[in-house]
Amino acid sequence: MATKVHMEALSPTMEEGQLVQWLKNEGDTVATGDVLAEVETDKATMELVARGEGILRKIFLGAGGTAEVGAVIGVIAAEDEDISEISGVSGGGAPAAAIVEEEAVSTPDPDPVVEEPTSGNNELASPVSKGGRVKASPLARRLAEQAGVDISQVPGSGPGGRVVKRDIEAAKASGDASPAPPVAPSWTPDEAEYEDVQTSQMRKTIAKRLITSIGPVPTFYLTVDVDMTRAMEARKSMNSMLKAEGAKVSVNDIVLKAVAGALRQHPNCNAQWHDGFIRRFKAVHIGVAVAVEDGLITPVVRHAHLKGISQIGAEVKELAGRAREKKLKPEEYTGATFSVSNLGMFGIHEFTAIINPPEAGILAVGGIEETPVAVDGEVLVRPRMRITMSCDHRVIDGAQGSRFLQTLKGMLEEPTAILL
């Protein structure tokens, strides 16, 4: 019996998906559980697996096309089975026959292929496919961009000759790497004045969720100014102790640990709004806003109140890295009880963040700024940081939010309290 290949709900909030690439071609033999394709959801790029066995007889949706959850995008059937009455969605994208190059049809591994156009001739044994495209992992591509290395001139040692991290590092170390070709001016008078960029699945979801927040949610904001003198001293001391281990504590790590401690003392802020009831959590699961190419995602540090500062820092770094590679699992970016957004590293000193429903609060963290302040009748320069809490008034009132911020401020100004 024929098996319809559906666009599946690969994340809890997914309503439609964009097909990145098919890993099987029409005519390929398929077994149950085989990875058929990669699909971009609203949060990550996920694998779509076969729910039946036979031959991939028909592909309806080409690479780059989108389809709603439940839509039929392909058919698996026996070679002689009649599938003429099965119809599927057509969401645009590349023609099915041109979806997968021969080199790309392989067993998925932890270092996925990303192909990009080459420039110029390739005299080295670099991994150029039949279509004149370089096969490289996302990490290798990013490292090459950062180092100014022409990735098309780097020999690949990965599966199928792809360029991986070690190849870029070797090219940099040898000094033989060709510089990346100069970037042409982005616009000249004889070119079009704008381009339309297709909305990613992540950006579409962000747009929908923001509408459900800033409009229906009665939000108010509370801001406090924090003296970070002691926190900066503590950070310096901790980094000195962690130097031998190669670890490092950031200001954000200290903030997250303090937030976790403060939420434990104020469970009314560690809560979610649901129709008919308010859910207050005993455990603290902090969503950490991470900027990615297509928008924003909030990986979750679970049970943050039970973890040390260095452990939180390592976890955030690891989650953020996989978030940028679109490799997070659904359970790693859902279920937060409170969120934190830090734009201090971008030179932003104060801002307001939008609540991520059903959470009742989010903390916006600004950068640390040397500021003249009055201390015991004297004007001194101190490192100050502004934090603003967005509160859902259905769950948190002004006094509750203020008490939470006072506790948080106290922990940051006397960081030994964080370690208790």
Q: What angle do CA 307, 290, 234 make, to 5 degrees?
A: 45
> Is there a contact between 356 and 336 (Cβ–Cβ < 8 Å)?
yes
Among candidates 264, 418, 253, 267, which has minimal Cα distance to 342? 253
d(CA 302, CA 316): 11
Both tokens of 162, joined, read 């792809």
397 is annotated as an active-site residue: yes
Token pair 């979801």 in the structure block, residue: 205
d(CA 100, CA 115): 11
d(CA 117, CA 255): 42
d(CA 54, CA 44): 29
d(CA 34, CA 262): 46
- The DSSP secondary structure of 360-407, one letter per residue, reads SEEEEEEEEEEEEEEETTEEEEEEEEEEEEEEETTT--HHHHHHHHHH
- The three-state secondary structure class of 74 is strand
305-311 long-range contacts, CB within 8 A, separation 24+: 305/260, 305/261, 305/263, 305/264, 307/257, 307/260, 308/257, 309/238, 309/249, 309/253, 309/254, 309/257, 309/418, 309/419, 310/238, 310/242, 310/247, 310/249, 310/253
Rg, the chain, Cα only: 25
HEC readout, 276-323:
CEEEECCCCCEEECEEECCEEECCEECCHHHCCHHHHHHHHHHHHHHH
Kind plus residue range of the DSSP H or E element containing 201: helix 201-214
d(CA 374, CA 369): 15
CA distances from 65 to 102, 149, 296 (A): 21, 32, 22
Catalytic residue numbers read: 393, 397
